[in-house]
A and B are shown apart, each in its own frame.
Chain A
């Protein structure tokens, strides 16, 4: 079974703090993703990565950065946390198929509920 793990289930941080959210997958997937989930808005893509040291902006990258130094690990960084970043953060991974095509079936971690006070 594919397993995607996230470093914390719940996190409480203060405004202005630098926050690191870690994600690790154990199935050798090339692609990794960070989403935030808010009620009524579904999941919105923050950043994704299709290879080590590669990153692409998603739909809402402002206020976030990412790091992918190893294939299995993808980190989301909030440089200076703000209250509007209080949310559920979900990490996902997927396989890259032959000829560079993406598998659109993504495997999700359990999420980190971040509260910024």
Chain B
């Protein structure tokens, strides 16, 4: 079985301050983990992915995430928020073949960036 929990449904930050989006997962097997972003009226876009290589993963637009097996977490961070980061973010887990090759999505975190 696999599941993912995004700990905050909404996050509000000021432009230029750090962003932290929290994600915890559950997986019976070695998971692959992803963060997707959805801007208003747009499809989801892959931000970054972890697939059992380096535990610190760098993505597009200055985002990065760290896989911590002991904490079953995959939190997303960015040092300095930009207005264009206002969007909804989804943490995603898969156990691969063991999960029928299906992805499981978290409930989403909506990010508001204040000027």
Smallest beta-carbon distance A97→chain B, Å: 11
| Chain B residues near A69 (CB-CB < 8 A) | none
Number of A residues with CB within 8 Å of any CB on chain B: 26
Is B106 within 8 A of A42, CB to CB?
Answer: yes
Please, what's the 1-or-0 string for A97-111, where 1 marks a CB less than 8 Å from any CB in chain B? 000001011111111
Q: Which of B14-22, B41-49, B73-81 contacts A (4 or more CB under 8 A)?
A: B41-49
| Interface residue? B115 (CB, 8 A) | no
**For residue A24, which residues in chain B have a CB less than 8 angstroms away from its CB?**
none
* B binding-site residues for A, Cβ under 8 Å: 6, 9, 32, 34, 36, 41-46, 49, 51, 90, 94, 96, 100-103, 105-108
10 closest residue pairs by CB, A with B: A42-B105, A108-B43, A43-B105, A108-B44, A102-B101, A42-B107, A110-B43, A40-B107, A42-B106, A42-B108
